[in-house]
Structure 1
């Protein structure tokens, strides 16, 4: 049994849960998964009892001195980077690493129009949807970022900075949204990146989990 337990919400809808789950799965970090069904009568009580923020995701690190809990997707990613330096979850080059952190932070704090108007529905594809209200501006900026990273830093692999990094995990739900609400006009580099990411076994495994959860509800 792993010393790390990642608590997440519904896989079809919880975009912030996908980020650290995708990170540990893609990076091959051992963990135990715990799920809290959201929007149920008991959800708030459980979240308030278990999560410091009352939200998902959060990571529980079992240690001899007592359990240590980290909340917030980006903080979880940074903690995992500290715990597993051999995984090299940020780019090795100092300049690429700074850009990767900037790109990840921009996702963490921005793109509110995209997130609000296009909620994650992981299992849906090809839904035509409005790009008004700032959504197109967010799409254009993400397209710009993905294209820049792939052209300037991604030559030695398929990910934004060549090798898989925290930056890719932060954009995993955006990849899902671009599939759900597409088709979209993206640069060739951004389109290839979206398709590569969505085809990864980790993303397929998340989708399989979402189907199981929905089937249980039905």
Structure 2
């Protein structure tokens, strides 16, 4: 994989980047259902979480003019015996095909390896049989990122549908599942029936999107970092 960062650079985010990063995340969410899905408040809460270190757990790719065109971060999802981390990444569509996604994935994986260290007393230990799992969720229509994930060694573990309905008024929905077929029934009020025919109405929008979760196991290697002990001075 060739990574071309000509006139681009990577750095850690700062709080003043909040608005620009939120806009980047929302670039691919042009459907009115998702407008403002990643609010600045939501992103700020992630950045200021006690277990999130902005200077180490997130990265930006910026142009020489300071424009933010790539972002990634890592967050722990599970505290089980095999730690699971979520790696999120977003790249401006105009900069696809330059290896930026691969760079962000590798930066994230290296940080996740560091977070997988087990602290025992004054020693840092990576347990020999421990596997740290990395998960990345993508829109199934993103063929470019799909190819990158396969190249980087990720495997598909789950697919799911996200069904979204935006309506001014909606009664309690009814769900049923028969022979593997899930049915969602939404009752419309009489005055809404004419609006429901127009899926482009700002009042009534429906969308079903398919997503996929890819996973990669980072195998642990036993490593023990012995603490430094100062030797006593012995008078001659």
TM-score normalized by structure 1? 0.31
More helix by share: 1
Which has the larger Rg? 2
Q: Report the TM-score when normalising by structure 2.
A: 0.29
Question: Does 1 or 2 have the higher relative contact order (CA < 8 Å, sep 6+)?
Answer: 1
